[in-house]
Structure 1
Amino acid sequence: MRIKLQFLTIFLSFFPVYSQVSGVGINETIPEQALHLGSQTGTIRVDGLNATNNSYNGGGVDKTYPVYVDNNGDLTLKTTAYDNSDGDDAFLTAAINGTVSIIPIVQADDGYESVEITSYTFTVSRNTILEIKYSLSIEVFQNNLLTILKDQYARNITNFFTLNTPVLAPTTRRYAPSSKCYFNRNDNFTNPAALPDAATGYIYNTGTTYIPLTTGTHTLRLYGTVCSGSNNRATFIRFAGGPDAIFLRLY
Structure 2
Amino acid sequence: MRNTYIITALLLCFYLQAQTSAVGIGTTNPQQKLHLENSVGTLRVESLDKDNNEFNGGNASPTGTYPLYVDSDGVLKLILEPLYNSNGQDALDNLTIPTSFINLPFSDPDGKAETTFKTYTITVARESILEVKYSISFEVFQNNASPPAKINDAAARRISTYYTLDTGTRRYGQSDRCYMNNSINNPAAYPAPEILASTGHGYNSTTTYVVLTPGTHTLYFKAEVSTNLPALLTYVKLVTDVDSIFMRLY
Say yes or no: TM over 0.5: yes
Looking at structure 2, the residues matched to 100 and 73 of structure 1 have their Cα atoms a distance apart, in angstroms, of 45
Aligned to 1:98: 100
Aligned to 2:234: 235
Find out whether 1:114 has 2:140 as its counterpart: no
Task: Identify which of 190, 193, 196 aligns with 1:193.
Answer: 190
Q: What is the TM-score of this pair, normalised by structure 2?
A: 0.71
Aligned to 1:214: 213
Task: Identify which of 130, 146, 149 aligns with 1:147.
Answer: 149
| 1:151–1:187 Cα contact (<8 Å) kept | no
How far 1:85 sits from its partner (Å)? Answer: 5.5
Looking at structure 2, the residues matched to 183 and 249 of structure 1 have their Cα atoms a distance apart, in angstroms, of 35
Aligned to 1:135: 135
Looking at structure 2, the residues matched to 72 and 220 of structure 1 have their Cα atoms a distance apart, in angstroms, of 27
Looking at structure 2, the residues matched to 126 and 240 of structure 1 have their Cα atoms a distance apart, in angstroms, of 33
How far 1:204 sits from its partner (Å)? Answer: 1.0
Looking at structure 2, the residues matched to 164 and 200 of structure 1 have their Cα atoms a distance apart, in angstroms, of 35
Gap change, CA 1:163 and 1:232, over 3 Å in 2:
same
How far 1:50 sits from its partner (Å)? Answer: 2.6
Q: What is the TM-score of this pair, normalised by structure 1?
A: 0.70
How many residues align? The count is: 224
Gap change, CA 1:64 and 1:112, over 3 Å in 2:
farther
Aligned to 1:182: 179
Looking at structure 1, the residues matched to 24 and 244 of structure 2 have their Cα atoms a distance apart, in angstroms, of 50
Looking at structure 2, the residues matched to 191 and 122 of structure 1 have their Cα atoms a distance apart, in angstroms, of 52
Unaligned runs of 5+ in 1: 9-18
- Residue by residue over 1:180-213, the C-alpha shift from the partner in whole angstroms, topping out at 9 and shown as x without a partner, is 1112222424973322132311111122334343
Gap change, CA 1:238 and 1:32, over 3 Å in 2:
same
Gap change, CA 1:154 and 1:89, over 3 Å in 2:
same
Task: Identify which of 152, 158, 161 aligns with 1:159.
Answer: 161
Unaligned runs of 5+ in 2: 6-15
SS at match of 1:94: coil
Looking at structure 2, the residues matched to 186 and 221 of structure 1 have their Cα atoms a distance apart, in angstroms, of 37
| 1:152–1:184 Cα contact (<8 Å) kept | yes
Gap change, CA 1:43 and 1:200, over 3 Å in 2:
same
Gap change, CA 1:142 and 1:209, over 3 Å in 2:
same
| 1:178–1:207 Cα contact (<8 Å) kept | yes
